Structure 1
């Protein structure tokens, strides 16, 4: 398997961090044969799936919240179904979330397809207006960043997760979301980028309740509350993962704040 590389150059490194929205190093990003991003979470994807069950590790309709998927909470708003995490609870979560997760995933794929078609069309239009050099640059730009553009706002991005036995689930529920006293099962939508969450107030969890909750989210009818401040008495690490890292996965800063280096800063390997 070829491993293309280029000579170390701070300017190129900074450019790559901006193109692929890298917030820290080391970072492993998986690309397809045309240079489009498959996932920005290459390291966690491979650690979670050493046998290659989910190859080529693209997006999935539904994720179990654990040490390998917690990093995804910083990507976009997340609907999480919290349970006690027993085998029966996991089976229940998979059952009630199956239909909704598949429908939202199909919608996402269609949006991605339309977005890619629009990006390619724009590249072709730019190429027709320029010379051969600009055509080459436009093609490279289209292939490297086309699938990593933000999902249109009208798509209302929402990823779905359920909890299992990983201790990270309890830590997030109790120490980060401040919902340790709430009765389970519990549905909530967490938006780490905006710094707020909404808890579903329905007493029961079912397919119909999930569908209604998502419909209200898309209609902008939910009542949001700010994410609480970090609990200073919370454990410093959970499952070997520092608590600060888990909190960062939920409460993040803008890409510009997380960029590595700057125009006049030296980039250092960690």
Structure 2
């Protein structure tokens, strides 16, 4: 009990009382600041307890108590009083203290209840958030599984298409080779080598056929013959050719 101090009974203040306290006949205690507002600035008839709203019109309904009395004060305050009066005063003082402890206990219970309710609401909110997050996580996992399966199917499809492309390319290459071979076989002027030129060669006439083209009447050889010997522009009799000067 010696380590327990009074607290201001104003619910908005709750200041710890260590030196001075204002005590009311309705068993409430207040700090200097609240006493100045509620007691000292009002007339005696208008004084009302801030805690329970009880009217305090009498002179001793509100007294100032020194919570750290001197030893001399302790020796003199009850000196000369009969033992029964001293016991009555002590009993009333203990009743006041008991009431203050009861009020403090009720206040702490109320405070703890409010804190418990607040904690319960926070826990409920957290549980709801956790449940929501778990549901979202499961949903994302299912979506991920679907996407993984879809990706696997697409990769398999890409592999199939790649194999088909390779097969088609090989078929095209084979068809092109067959086509080139057929073209070379049908065109006798082209060699059978598939690496031959793609364009047909032109035929050129050389030797006497060129002279026959210049002067058809002066053909030296039959068109069916071919001779690489030099051709003289003179006739056998020594006559001049039409183009000889």
TM-score by length of 1: 0.20
Q: Considering Cα pairs closer than 8 Å and 6+ residues apart, tell me whether 1 or 2 has the greater RCO.
A: 1
* Greater fraction of residues in strand: 1
- Rg larger in 1 or in 2? 2
TM-score by length of 2: 0.22
